A and B are shown apart, each in its own frame.
Chain A
């Protein structure tokens, strides 16, 4: 019985069917209200959304999570089987990368954090331990077409150190990233910040590296044929 289960779990057909089903439910979900950008899915970690959103919003995500869980088992068993039979290493590295990226999503879905904060110049950003970062200066440059072409804020730590936050250049502090999203240069310059914690990011990067190495090795193998 165990052998039969093992054979089923390492079947290529099972993997192909699971991929098709995940695609189908992602496609259905992309048209649903749950995936709409105002639907709150991007405002909180995935598991919190699944707990709090009505099932009529999130049913397709539940199904996708369940299907991906089986796909993960299928990938692990297939990878183990291929290594046992001494097959090429390249696809297994790609599978390992895929698994690490799924793990990254799992970690972020559980421990992610996001909070927008609007602060005027001179105001503060508070951390859970009570530390306050002062928004010392907010500045921006407006281009010829009236669009803001650059903006930045200077944050001061309690010990007097200063650090600049710009688009694509966040400030990382105590495991959180501080991102500047918008700047308004009214009477009192103000900025919209977002505080993020993305604990799955290192695993996603490691997964991406494994996947890329495996992919390039596979390309090289095919080129030699």
Chain B
């Protein structure tokens, strides 16, 4: 099954400037994740390999509505950018071993799966927003900034829902909807960051460039929240 996963990476890297190949890469990755899910009897969301694969797939999946949007239809650099991002995270996952253990009992709940899946969809949308910000700064029109705002707003909605489902899960699993761990502090920072980003929109066109840059920097905060905290800081709430 892993060969299906390997196959999606060159498609993302070398073919995704044509949307059918981006969709083909996504389809292969979905087949791989579905196969792993069926084997494990759960969503593959434990450990760096599975989460990076899920993140990569989320990037490709969340980019699809934008690839077909009126503003970006036929824009090869956008679909290639999304493909590169999806391919990069798929590639990053390869050195890590797969964890095939059964879920620890405390993770065996739909609230956990909903919490993690929504968080990755949100991360992916923040990545798409950063890409759109980069395209705007590279001489694109203001409509790219509108799309960046939309991607970030939908991502923020999903991230908020992820935090809520995580809080409900935490209440039933640990007796509290909030724990003081590095991961949760950085999750709050990320949520506050995008709250600030969405409020900045009110400041008008004078802030367009800063708005685009802040959207790009937001993805760095996202990556630190996801990868940096898990790799550099001690937290029971990682991977």
Contacts and interface: CB of A to CB of B under 8 A. Distances in A.
A143 interface: yes
B171 A201 contact: yes
Given A22-B192, A204-B167, A215-B160, A35 B108 contact: no
Interface string B152-170: 0110110011001001110
Contacts of A42: 179-181
A186 interface: no
Contacts of A211: 160, 164
B226 to A, nearest CB: 14
Nearest to A167: B105
Interface of A: 12, 15-16, 19-20, 22-23, 26-27, 29-31, 35-37, 41-42, 104-105, 108, 112, 114, 143-145, 147-151, 166-170, 177, 179, 194, 196, 198, 200-201, 204-205, 208, 211-212, 215-216, 218-219, 222
Contact of A166 (B105, B176, B186, B236): B105
- Chain B interface, >50% SS class: helix
Given A15-B199, A30-B182, A208-B167, A168 B105 contact: yes
Contacts, number: 120
Contacts of B199: 12, 15-16, 19
A216 B157 contact: yes
B145 to A, nearest CB: 14
The 4 closest A-B pairs by CB, nearest first: A196-B175, A167-B105, A41-B180, A30-B185
A212 B161 contact: yes
A114 to B, nearest CB: 7
Given A169-B172, A219-B153, A212 B235 contact: no
20 contacts: A12-B199, A27-B189, A30-B229, A35-B181, A37-B180, A37-B235, A42-B179, A42-B181, A144-B102, A150-B105, A167-B105, A167-B173, A168-B169, A198-B171, A198-B176, A200-B177, A201-B177, A211-B160, A215-B156, A215-B157
B101 interface: yes
Nearest to B235: A37
Contacts of B179: 42
Given A30-B189, A41-B180, A147-B101, 14 more contacts: A16-B196, A23-B189, A26-B192, A30-B229, A37-B180, A144-B102, A145-B101, A147-B104, A150-B105, A168-B109, A179-B173, A194-B175, A204-B177, A208-B164
